[in-house]
Amino acid sequence: MTLKQYFKDIFTGVKSLATGMRVTGGYFLRHHKEKITEQYPDNRDKLVLAERFRGEVVMTHDDNNEHACTGCTACELACPNGTIKIITKFDMTPEGKKKKALDTFIYHLELCTMCNLCVEACPTSAITMAPTFEHSVFDRSQLIKKLNKPGSKIREGVE
């Protein structure tokens, strides 16, 4: 290596470092104007989650405490992890016939991977995904949820 080449290498090396330093230096000078990272519990009030965000499965109930689940177990079959367990019962219709109805909709949040296949499979759109994410509890058994509210019944006209 010639002496000329040696000094040229030093010069280009220092120049490349200065170029990089200009980028970081630029951020150093204007970092108070553009804030990128936010600390989680501090930004909790203004945290906006997308409406499609898949946090957990919920069953929608209307004002009369009625849901749209017929207990057809399509979601139970669609689930890859065995997250959903549906217990059905037989209701008496006014005509005196037996009719299958939902008794308990058990949802294991601890097994769920939020793949949305159950919501896709539901023929009556009884279940949806809710944009919640703060699921931590002290005991695993608290994650097993009953989705139909107590005393709820199926909405009129949903077959």
Partner 1 sequence: MYRETDIIQTIPGTDEMVINVGPQHPSTHGVLHLVITIDGETVKKVEPHLGYIHRSIEKMCESLSYRQFIYTTSRMDYLSAHINNHACALAVEQAMGIEVPLRAQYIRVVMDELTRIASHCLWWGSVAMDCGAVTPFFLAFREREMINTIMEETCGARLTMNYMVPGGVMFDLHPNFQRDTKTFLAHFRSKIDEYDELVTGNIIFQNRLKGTGYISKADAISYGCTGPTARGSGVSCDVRKWYPYEVYQQVQFDEILETAGDSFARYLVRLAELRQSISIIEQLIDEIPAGEFQAKTKAVLKPPKGEFYSRVETARGELGVYIVSEGGTTPYRIKFRSPGFSNLSALDHMVRGQKIGDLVAIMGTLDLVIPDIDR
Nearest CB to partner 1, comparing residues 24 and 136: 24
* Closer residue to partner 1 (CB): 4 or 52: 52
Q: How many Cα atoms are found within 13 Å in the side-chain-facing hemisphere of 8?
A: 5
Other C-beta atoms closer than 10 Å to the C-beta of 75 total 23
Residues 61 to 120 in contact with partner 1, rule: CB under 8 A: 78-80, 113-117, 120
Nearer to partner 1, 83 or 148 (CB): 83
> Positive or negative CA dihedral for 94, 95, 97, 101?
negative
- Chain positions 120 to 159 lying near partner 1, rule: CB under 8 A, are 120-121, 129
Q: How far is the CB of 18 from partner 1 (least distance, A)?
A: 10
Cα atoms found within 13 Å of the Cα of residue 99, Cβ hemisphere only: 13
**155 token code pair:** 């909405």
Mask: binding to partner 1, 43-62, rule CB under 8 A, as x and -?
A: ------xx-xxx--------
Binder among 6, 12, 104, 153 for partner 1 (CB under 8 A)? 12
Distances (CA, A) of 145 to 87, 91, 111, 148, 157: 13, 23, 12, 9, 27
| Region from 8-16, 90-98, 103-111, 140-148 binding partner 1, contact rule CB under 8 A | 8-16
Assign 46 to helix, strand or coil: coil
Chain residues that interact with partner 1, rule: CB under 8 A? 12-13, 16-17, 19-20, 22-24, 36-37, 49-50, 52-54, 78-80, 113-117, 120-121, 129
